[in-house]
Amino acid sequence: MKLAADTQARLLFLARVVEKEIKHLDYADNQVFSPPLTLETVINLEQNPALALKIEAFSSRFCRLQDTLGDKWLPALFTRAR
């Protein structure tokens, strides 16, 4: 199947965005889960605001990646594949 130039450009752009979002998520993952997050750490999260910010960054980046994939990349891919 041959894609139009604008479609190819859009999909390549979105692929680059997803790749960057994955790198940012991986960084946040290492900040939150290394060492592993324990129940005790979560229970005492109010005493560790730096970790709370890291968890917030991780969850925001995870949601952003899911939004990009679900709202932009997959629809662009499937719309063009028809």
Q: Is pLDDT above 70 for 1? A: no
Q: What per-residue confidence (pLDDT) applies to 80?
A: 60
> Which pLDDT score, from 0 to 100, does residue 5 have?
85
Tokens for 44? 């005492």
Cα dist. 46→8, 31, 42, 55 in Å? 47, 17, 8, 12
pLDDT score of 8: 87
* Tokens at 20, concatenated: 């960057």
Residues in the chain: 82
Using the predicted structure, report yes or no on whether residue 62 has a pLDDT greater than 90.
yes
Q: What is the mean pLDDT of the chain?
A: 92
Q: What is the pLDDT of residue 51?
A: 97
Domain boundaries, position 74: 5-81
Q: State the total domains in the chain.
A: 1
